[in-house]
């Protein structure tokens, strides 16, 4: 694969199978960004190829070129410090929590149900600038030796000089539609 942003290393994971099962639940629900080619993938499959031991590979759907959004510069994608984790540590349910950072330095954050976390974040934002989470290489992590988590990056649509207003609105719609489908799956 030419795009190294779409090949994620799982070498350091203690519970690799648990991380693989967890991330599969986000396939086509959270968009994946590749800075090296300035593209956002909205329709893709996640694979764990045998020949690429301990790797996760994201393959954009080759029959849906319209689902690969172009011209999204790296400056428009920023880390958030927000994480999604399984609500149950054993991963037996599909319920998800979001870890919201706390202002106090002594605590890591507070876990709330995903839909609650999204509402809290968007309450602090203008309706014209909703929270638009995306994934980038390295966002699949282990919170501790047992629990997989996804760090979220966010798209800032005001930093897309290569795109028309119509393209920007389309990106927002697609990201929000995927996020809504993820929240409804709960």
Average pLDDT (138-164) is 90
Give the tokens for residue 31.
């968009």
Residues of the domain holding 59 = 4-184
Residues 6+ apart with CB under 8 A from 176: 130, 132
Assign 42 a pLDDT band (cuts: 50, 70, 90).
very high
Query: Do 139 and 6 touch, CB atoms closer than 8 A?
Result: no
pLDDT of residue 2: 75
Indicate the number of domains in the chain.
1
Residues β-bridged to residue 98: 84, 112
Average pLDDT (33-40) is 95
Assign 91 a pLDDT band (cuts: 50, 70, 90).
low
Residue 77 has pLDDT above 80, yes or no: yes
pLDDT of residue 107: 65
Give the tokens for residue 139.
């966002």
pLDDT of residue 90: 67
Which segments within the chain are labelled E, that is strand?
7-9, 31-34, 39-41, 44-47, 55-60, 68-70, 77-86, 96-100, 110-113, 133-135, 140-142, 148-155
Residues β-bridged to residue 185: none
Question: Strand 96-100 to strand 77-86: parallel, antiparallel, or no bridges (unpaired)?
Answer: antiparallel
pLDDT of residue 5: 95
Burial of 37 (0-12, 13-18, 19+ CB in 10 A): middle
pLDDT of residue 83: 94
pLDDT of residue 178: 92
pLDDT for 11-36, tens place per residue?
Answer: 889 888 899 999 999 999 999 999 99
Sheet of 44-47: strand order equals 7-9, 55-60, 44-47
Query: Do 175 and 132 touch, CB atoms closer than 8 A?
Result: yes
């Amino acid at each position: 694969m030419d795009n190294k942003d779409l090949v994620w290393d799982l070498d350091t994971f203690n519970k690799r199978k648990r991380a693989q099962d967890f991330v599969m639940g986000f396939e086509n629900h959270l968009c994946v960004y590749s800075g090296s080619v300035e593209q956002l993938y909205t329709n893709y499959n996640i694979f764990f190829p045998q020949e690429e031991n301990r790797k996760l590979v994201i393959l954009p759907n080759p029959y849906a070129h319209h689902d690969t959004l172009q011209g999204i510069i790296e400056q428009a994608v920023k880390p958030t410090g927000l994480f999604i984790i399984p609500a149950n540590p054993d991963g037996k349910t599909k319920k998800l929590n979001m870890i919201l950072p706390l202002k106090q330095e002594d605590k890591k954050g507070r876990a709330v149900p995903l839909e609650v976390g999204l509402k809290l974040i968007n309450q602090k934002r203008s309706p014209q600038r909703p929270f638009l989470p995306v994934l980038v290489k390295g966002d699949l992590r282990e919170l501790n030796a047992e629990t997989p988590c996804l760090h979220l990056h966010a798209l800032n649509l005001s930093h897309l000089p290569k795109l028309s207003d119509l393209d920007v609105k389309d990106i927002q719609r697609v990201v929000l539609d995927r996020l809504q489908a993820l929240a409804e799956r709960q």
